[in-house]
């Protein structure tokens, strides 16, 4: 079996031949002998075995086993949306957990009436479809996850449309859950009318050395429309070196409750939340730890977030050495008490919100005069906030308020439009 005619040092292109079977224009993105090949038709072929790969000269891979994906239709699934696919899916993911073979959903509609749970997997694998042409309908009788991967490693879900069918009285739930994950991903998926799209979490926050165990997890380029439900958006809990990027969350309830659109929760370490859009939610972005006397996120970065029509913009909860930058917060249409564009909160004296930097912020249409644009609650220390533009807002605003036992915080408003002749702050830390 030979692979040749590579395009550059990171993308080999040619043909993969196994006896009489030839797959054209295969790409291999690695300098390893084990990986995932992809045909132009989008069918993943897992390749495992002993091989020699030289990216500087003609590439040779020998003694390789080709593992074609499980096509769910060949294994008895119904793609008309009339028959429950849960049992067959459990069989397939159990097989993939030991073989590493991908699971492929051709275009169509697939019904799931019970949660499918995989506990542990020895090999990583991929589940993928044909984008919006592959529709997964959830109609569960319990508040659970449609697909739940426990102690997951190297599992990727991509190019699938998840929808929740409540016509039969099913409860709202999550589409995907990954507990204790490492190297797991959700890419290019759509989620509609459900409580939450993707939940990646450590199921025991007291595990030793947590942020060195569950890492390298990513949620990328996904779209979530909650359809007005009182649910939550994309969530990561106590992970490290992980990210939520390029995602959109819209139409969550914004009239009360505790829902959020984007959250890095508890002790996330060196995680990234970037290039996302939130339109209509109670809280747009939350990161940190609300548990009493517990450490929050550390050294995380939130950047390039566009926020509209949210009761609270960005909330930092007992975070330490985190960065927020280059975000736009438009609060048009919101007129409630306790609202704020940026909030710093604490959960105990021992765990203040400290040493965080919030810069490059644009705030628009903050119209309620009884609340502060920037709120630093008690025990918020050594934080910096720089608002580049405060635009189209009420002139008599309370720009910032500081709770008791705050120290060494600095809030800077670089440019304010619309007058602000009576704008005030609660102490001299502006």
Task: Identify the CA nearest to 23 among candidates 12, 42, 39.
Answer: 39
Q: What is the pLDDT of residues 77-107, one digit of tens each?
A: 999 999 999 999 999 999 999 999 999 999 9
User: Which positions ≥6 away from 47 have C-beta within 8 Å?
Assistant: 16, 28, 33, 34, 35, 36, 37, 61, 64, 65, 66, 67
Q: Which residues contact 417 (CB under 8 A, 6 or more apart)?
A: 389, 390, 391, 392
What does the pLDDT look like over 394-406, one tens digit per residue?
655 677 777 777 8
- Helix and strand totals (H; E) in the chain: 1, 35
Query: For residue range 304-332, what is the model confidence (pLDDT) as tens digits?
Result: 999 998 888 999 988 999 999 999 999 87
Closest CA to 248 of 260, 261, 236: 261
Q: Residue 364: which of 355, 356, 373, 372 has the closest Cα?
A: 373
How confident is the prediction for the chain on average, in pLDDT? 78
In Å, how far from its chain's centre is CA 391? 30
Of 303, 305, 261, 306, nearest to 282 by C-alpha is: 261
Q: Which residue has the higher pLDDT, 377 or 342?
A: 342
DSSP H or E stretch at residue 261: strand 260-265
Residue 32, pLDDT above cutoff 50: no
Contact 261, 230 (CB under 8 A): no
74 φ/ψ angles, rounded to the nearest 5 degrees:
-70, -15
Cβ(36)–Cβ(47) below 8 Å: yes
State the Cα–Cα distance between residues 110 and 75, nearest whole angstrom.
13
Residue 94 — φ and ψ, nearest 5°? -65, -40
Q: Collect all residues with Cβ–Cβ distance below 8 Å to 392 and sequence separation of at least 6.
A: 364, 365, 417, 418
Our measurement of the distance from residue 194's CA atom to the centroid of its chain's CA atoms, rounded to an integer in Å, reads: 15
**Distances from the Cα of 356 to the Cα of 6, 134, 302, 383, 410, angstroms:** 46, 42, 11, 5, 11
Average pLDDT of 412-425? 57
Q: Averaged over 263-288, what is the pLDDT?
A: 92
Task: Give the phi and the psi of residue 26 in degrees, each rounded to 5.
Answer: -90, 140
Which element (helix H / strand E) includes 94?
Answer: helix 86-99
- pLDDT of amino acid 122: 83
Q: What is the pLDDT of residues 36-73, one digit of tens each?
A: 443 333 333 444 443 333 333 333 333 344 568 999 99
Range in 214-223, 228-237, 336-345 with the lowest mean pLDDT: 336-345
Q: Are strands 80-84 and 234-237 parallel, antiparallel or unpaired?
A: unpaired
Unique residue bearing structure tokens 């710093």: 344
pLDDT at 209: 45
- Are 13 and 6 a contacting pair, CB within 8 Å? yes
Q: What is the model's pLDDT at position 227?
A: 87
Residue 200 C-beta-side C-alpha neighbours within 13 Å = 32
Contact 421, 391 (CB under 8 A): no
* Residues 295, 114: Cα–Cα separation, whole Å: 36
- Secondary structure of residue 269 in the 3-state scheme: strand
Q: What is the pLDDT of residue 239?
A: 93
CA distances from 208 to 196, 202, 213 (A): 28, 12, 9
């Amino acid at each position: 079996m030979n692979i040749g005619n590579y395009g550059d040092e990171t993308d080999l292109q040619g043909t993969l031949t196994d006896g009489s079977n030839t797959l054209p224009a295969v790409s291999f993105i690695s300098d390893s002998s084990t990986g995932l090949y992809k045909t132009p038709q989008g069918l993943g072929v897992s390749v495992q075995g002993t091989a020699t790969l030289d990216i500087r000269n003609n590439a040779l891979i020998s003694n390789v086993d080709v593992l074609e994906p499980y096509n769910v239709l060949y294994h008895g699934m119904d793609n008309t949306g009339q028959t429950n696919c849960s049992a067959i899916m459990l069989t397939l993911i159990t097989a993939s957990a030991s073989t590493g073979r991908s699971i492929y959903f051709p275009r169509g509609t697939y019904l799931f009436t019970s949660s499918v749970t995989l506990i542990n997997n020895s090999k990583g694998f991929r589940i993928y479809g044909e984008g919006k042409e592959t529709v997964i309908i959830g109609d569960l009788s319990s508040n659970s996850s449609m697909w739940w991967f426990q102690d997951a490693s190297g599992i990727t879900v991509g190019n699938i449309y998840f929808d929740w069918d409540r016509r039969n009285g099913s409860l709202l739930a999550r589409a995907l859950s990954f507990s204790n994950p490492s190297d797991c991903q959700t890419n290019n998926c759509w989620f509609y009318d459900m409580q939450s799209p993707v939940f990646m979490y450590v199921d025991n926050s007291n595990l030793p050395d947590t942020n060195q165990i569950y890492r390298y997890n990513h949620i990328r380029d996904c779209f979530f429309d909650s359809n007005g439900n009182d649910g939550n958006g994309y969530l990561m809990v106590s992970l490290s070196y992980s990210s939520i990027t390029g995602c959109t969350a819209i139409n969550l309830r914004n009239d009360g409750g505790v829902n959020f659109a984007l959250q890095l929760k508890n002790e996330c370490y060196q995680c990234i939340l970037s290039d996302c859009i939130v339109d209509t939610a109670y809280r747009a972005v939350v990161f940190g730890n609300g548990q009493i006397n517990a450490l929050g996120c550390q050294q995380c970065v939130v950047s390039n977030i566009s926020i509209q029509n949210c009761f609270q913009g960005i909330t930092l909860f007992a975070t330490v050495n985190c960065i927020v930058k280059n975000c736009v917060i438009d609060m048009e249409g919101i007129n409630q008490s306790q609202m704020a564009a940026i909030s710093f909160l604490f959960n105990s004296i021992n765990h203040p919100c400290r040493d965080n930097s919030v810069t490059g912020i644009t705030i628009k249409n903050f119209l309620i005069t009884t609340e502060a644009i920037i709120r630093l609650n008690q025990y918020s220390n050594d934080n910096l906030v720089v608002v580049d533009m405060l635009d189209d807002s009420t002139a008599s605003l309370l720009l910032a308020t500081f709770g008791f036992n705050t120290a060494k915080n600095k809030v800077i408003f670089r440019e304010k439009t619309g007058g602000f002749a009576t704008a005030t702050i609660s102490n001299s830390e502006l």
